[in-house]
Amino acid sequence: MVSDNPSASRMRPGCEISGPLHEDSMSSTTEVTIRLSGLFGGLALMAIWEVLAPRRVPKVRRARRWMSNLGLLVFNTVAVRLLIPLTAVELAVMAERNGWGALHRWSLPPAWEIPLAVIALDLVIYLQHVLFHAVPAFWRLHRVHHADLEFDVTTGLRFHTIEILLSLGLKLAAILALGPSPWAVLIFEVLLNATSMFNHSNVRIPLGCDRMLRWLVVTPDMHRVHHSIQRREADSNFGFNLPWWDYLLGTYRPQPAEDYETMPIGVAELRDERLCCRLPAMLWLPLRSSRASPDGNDR
Ligand SMILES: [Zn+2]
Ligand SMILES: [Zn+2]
């Protein structure tokens, strides 16, 4: 799942790590610059690529969808800032200073510690994603991501606010247990945002190139299978960043039953564009019926 803190870090007055942020590791200005460059650079790059080499012909008008998906991103960023007093990087700074977490016991050099921490955090996100499909209450929240009727770069930034808050809570717990460095956490979050924008994008990648890339990163074709209207296909390819967990844990599906270019995208019981692709209706989707009527309309 995409990082829950796509923009900047901030400090709370009176917090234990107040003063110059990350004074041992990085400046807050550096962190903000890296985050915003990753977000806007990735968004612009994939948007241009989608125009130059689209994989599918969109059926829903882009302007309104994009406004809603990006509007939800802005709303989530503000909500997280207001409701959660600590960012993942700030907690990693605290853990580093206090020696909390497994990795701080081993004193590994950054060349080992950062990749190890990124891979471990990616496994946590994979497992969280499986959980959000398996538990009906969590699936209702995660359906907001899947209910997008198109599949493009903005889909990768579209998650229900409560899912984002739960995701951040789980990540904070993982950081306490694992003890990754602040740099490892920042790199993981920026990487996860970038790969999420990449693997949700509506871009055409030559088949041979896609097969090679799939050894290293989840590709758009691979993740598009996960957005199939067919539930058995949606319950596969859970990786957001690294594809290895799907290979190792038996959840990999190489391709959809239908063609990539014509396979229906979305959730069977949620097909109304006014509900699925517009704010604020998208925020109420978890409360809607989970049954599909025979004519395919939501009840
Ligand atoms: Zn999913
Ligand atoms: Zn997705």
CA of 271 to the centre of ligand 1 (A): 17
Q: Which distant-in-sequence residues (6+ apart) come within 8 Å of 150 by Cβ?
A: 56, 58, 59, 60, 62, 65, 202, 265, 277
Average pLDDT over residues 163-185: 96
| Choice between 4 and 38, residue whose per-residue pLDDT is larger | 38
Q: What is the dihedral of CA 147, 148, 149, 152, to 10 degrees?
A: -150
CA of 60 to the centre of ligand 1 (A): 21
- Beta-bridged to residue 298, according to DSSP, are 292
Average pLDDT over residues 186-200: 96
Look over the chain and give the mean of its residue pLDDT values, rounded to a whole number: 89
CA of 225 to the centre of ligand 2 (A): 9
The reported pLDDT for the residue numbered 252 is 98
CA of 2 to the centre of ligand 2 (A): 9
**Residue 148 CA: which ligand is closest?**
2
- Confirm if 7 and 35 have CB atoms less than 8 A apart: yes
**CA 255/CA 261 separation, integer angstroms:** 12
CA of 288 to the centre of ligand 1 (A): 18
CA of 41 to the centre of ligand 1 (A): 25
Categorize the per-residue pLDDT at 289 as very low, low, confident or very high, splitting at 50, 70 and 90.
confident
Q: What tokens appear for 259 in the block? A: 């063609």
Could you tell me if residue 179 is left (phi over 0), alpha (psi between -120 and 50 degrees) or otherwise beta? left
The reported pLDDT for the residue numbered 203 is 97
Average pLDDT over residues 127-144: 97
Average pLDDT over residues 228-238: 97
**Residue 142 CA: which ligand is closest?**
1
Q: pTM of this prediction?
A: 0.87
Categorize the per-residue pLDDT at 6 as very low, low, confident or very high, splitting at 50, 70 and 90.
very low
CA of 106 to the centre of ligand 1 (A): 34
In the predicted structure, residue 297 carries a pLDDT above the cut 50: no
Which residue is it, tokens 């907001």? 144
**Residue 234 CA: which ligand is closest?**
1
Categorize the per-residue pLDDT at 106 as very low, low, confident or very high, splitting at 50, 70 and 90.
confident
Report which of 199, 211, 182, 185 is spatially closest to residue 242, judged by C-alpha positions.
199
Tally of CB atoms within 10 A around 120: 17
CA of 25 to the centre of ligand 2 (A): 32
CA of 15 to the centre of ligand 2 (A): 35
Q: What is the dihedral of CA 38, 60, 49, 258, to 10 degrees?
A: 110
**Residue 231 CA: which ligand is closest?**
1
- Confirm if 39 and 250 have CB atoms less than 8 A apart: no
The reported pLDDT for the residue numbered 298 is 38
CA of 131 to the centre of ligand 1 (A): 10
**CA 94/CA 262 separation, integer angstroms:** 49
The reported pLDDT for the residue numbered 30 is 85
CA of 238 to the centre of ligand 1 (A): 6
The reported pLDDT for the residue numbered 29 is 83
Contacts 24+ apart (CB under 8 A), 266-271: 266/146, 266/147, 266/148, 266/149, 266/227, 266/229, 267/143, 267/146, 267/147, 267/229, 268/229, 268/231, 268/292, 268/296, 269/293, 269/298, 269/299, 270/143, 270/147, 270/298, 271/149, 271/296, 271/297, 271/298
CA of 142 to the centre of ligand 1 (A): 6
The reported pLDDT for the residue numbered 4 is 54
